[in-house]
Amino acid sequence: MATKIKNEVLIRAYILCGIVCMIAVAIFGKVVYISLFEGQKWRAESEKKYIEQVEIEADRGNILARDGSLLATSLPFFDIHFDPASDALSDKVFYENIDSLAVCIANFINDPDRTVGGYRDYLIEMRRTRKNRHILIKRNATFEEKQRICEFPIFNRGQFKGGLKLMPKFRRNRPFGILAYRTIGYTRDRDSLKVGLEGRFNDVLAGESGLQLMFNAPGDVLIPVNDLAEIEPKIGDDIQTTIDVDIQDITNKAVYRAMLNSQAKWGVAIVMEVETGAIRAISNLSLTKKGEIWETYNHAVGTGIEPGSVFKIASMMSLLEDGAVKLTDEIDLEQGKTTFYDEEMLDASPHMLDTTTVEHAFEISSNVGIAKLVQEHYGETKRAGKFIQNLKNFHLNYPTGIEIDGEAAPYIKPAYSEEDDWSGTTLPWMSIGYEVSLTPLQQLTFYNAIANDGQLMKPYLVEEIQQYGEKIKRFPPTVIKRKIAKPSTIKTAQYLLKQVVEEGTAKSMKSDLYTFAGKTGTAQFDYKKLKDTRSVGGYQSSFAGYFPAENPKYSIIVVINKPQGQYYGSKVALPVFREIADNIFATKAEVHPSINLNQKPQLAQRNLPDRNVGEKQDLQKVLASLELPYETQTKADFAAIIATKTDSLKIRRRNMSNKTVPNVVGMGLRDALYLLENRGLDVEVKGYGKVVLQSIKPGTRVRGQNIKVTLR
């Protein structure tokens, strides 16, 4: 029995031993197979784990103002590491300089965790054990800090001999801070939302990335293996914008003050050059939840709003274009209250006017007057489609095509469209700026066309693309439409907008220094009509116009959304317009009329030089400098200027005999003395100015006499 049990145990042991041997053989076989056939593959995978080819970001191009000032630029920062066990760093150099290096790191890097001695011991230990060959010296070092660190002992020997490793990266910087912040925009990474000019011109600004071998150190720290990249990154191109830094600063400060005073939800102001459509300033300020004022959204481009009364000029232009009204026609304002299909319409400011002229109705921004005119000529005659078509002819149904993404599409309700809830009250309310939607920029583009004698310009923000300061592509001004309306319509519209300032709702802000034209606007939103009451969710104040009125240089729109307290456009938005225009007028010469613009008036004979006598060459020089035309009728050295009755000047001979006393009346003292003393006369002088009297009659024979000359 015992033998049988022993045999069973041995059998089991042999089986187990066989299994172990089989496993060992299989493992050995696998090792041999991997070594011979897959070794290269797995060695590459192992190397890949620590060394990889990494894409290197290129230095991003700059965004420039029109004068070359930096609106956005990339500043270099560096992650700096040290390899104390670098093969090219000799023991002699290391130990001779380690004390000085430790002092520099401890004192200039300001690491509170280590003393000078602690740094010295740590660096020596890492060189001896080679445990950490990528010691972090400074993360996000500025260029100046990098330059100083590169001068430390040992580090000043470079990457290999000094063991220093630099990893550059770039951070976007805006030298002017909040100025045009949302318009300049930003990009965070490849997949995030790209905003403003940074986003729209990302391909131009980004350049081309390079490639470099990197060591993946513990903690996912990438360290360049070599100084030089395998493929060098290509720096991005620059874009030069139309932004004028001075006007942008003026505009931003004006909107900021308005936001502080009114505690509005948001405020917008845009300044556009009339002739070209170039945007010289664009400000978007919002009141944040924390009560701060910042550019959080580009409302000028991205927010469609009901324009309110600033839209009334479009309604008037439609009526004028169709010959439906004259400014002298009369309209019953019904004391500022009327109804359309049981819907009551009120004028913004109370008045007791009944019958008045169309011109005056526009000047005081009468809702009732404008709405009744439009309803009479387009609504009751079932010609609303013609009114809508006129608005389209004014290009009010098209976006501007500005170079930044996110522009809101304009909305002009199609005539009689059930899908768009067209009703009997739509037309009168559209005529005063409701049931339509336009961005502030779209509204300004329309006003700019009026200022530009009907020529519609595309608003634009970028003038050219530059490479190393040289222009490689230019974006010239673009004409969208040569004429948006008849010349007579444009002239009348210009007159009406000027009258708003001279006699209407903007009269209180009229300037004595320059003229301007425009239209105030006060719009309600979130309007609700209940049984016995009405509620308004808020107001929007606006003013759109241009200056100088006679020769417009700049068009400006100001929109202040949800101001607290005072909310009329003439009280909230118009002062912002005036502040911007006043400061532009004070700083920009182009808005001042040229003093030599008109033809020079013909001088009266009494104002011309007459009977002036002297050397002909001197007389000609003086007349030429005064740009006075003349005719020379003598070759003699001395002559006289004669002003004829035809307002022309003639230079005639003055007879000068060497043997007789010359006629020096009309001469200056220098010429008189020269002639008299050269003839041997003793001259006595009295007075200042030109010679008016001489004591010896001209033509008397010279005998060395004494002559007295009186000057006055």
Task: Give the H/E segment covering residue 126.
Answer: helix 116-129
For residue 541, the 8-state DSSP code is: E
Residue pLDDT, tens place only, 347-390: 988 888 899 999 999 999 999 999 999 999 999 888 999 999 99
Query: What tokens appear for 610 in the block?
Result: 């007459």
List CB contacts of 341: < 8 A, sequence separation 6 or more: 423, 424, 425
Residue pLDDT, tens place only, 672-684: 888 888 888 899 9
d(CA 276, CA 474): 14
d(CA 540, CA 115): 63
pLDDT-above-70 percentage for the chain? 83
d(CA 236, CA 232): 13
d(CA 119, CA 642): 97
Residue pLDDT, tens place only, 570-590: 999 999 999 999 999 999 988
Instruction: Write 389-393 long-range contacts (CB < 8 A, 24+).
Output: 390/317, 390/318, 390/321, 390/322, 391/314, 391/318, 393/321, 393/484, 393/485
Taking a C-beta distance cutoff of 8 angstroms, is the pair 275, 458 a contact? no
Which is nearest to 424 in space by CA: 415, 433, 411?
A: 415
Given a cut of 50, the residues of the chain with pLDDT beneath it are 47
Which is nearest to 548 in space by CA: 513, 519, 508?
A: 513
d(CA 124, CA 459): 65
d(CA 297, CA 179): 13
pLDDT of residue 537: 80
Tally of CB atoms within 10 A around 684: 11
pLDDT of residue 110: 65
Taking a C-beta distance cutoff of 8 angstroms, is the pair 120, 96 a contact? no
The residue behind tokens 């101001």 is: 563
d(CA 668, CA 674): 10
d(CA 438, CA 444): 10
pLDDT of residue 407: 96
d(CA 58, CA 70): 19
Which is nearest to 417 in space by CA: 435, 439, 443, 399?
A: 435
Tell me the C-alpha to C-alpha distance, in Å, between residue 482 and each of 451, 457, 492: 13, 9, 18
Using DSSP, state whether 445 is helix, strand or coil.
Answer: helix
Question: What is the three-state SS of 183-248?
Answer: HHCECCCCCCCCEHHHHHCHHHHHCECEEEEEEEECCCEEEECCCCCCECCECCCEEEECCCHHHH
pLDDT of residue 303: 96
Tally of CB atoms within 10 A around 468: 8
Residue pLDDT, tens place only, 418-432: 999 999 999 999 999
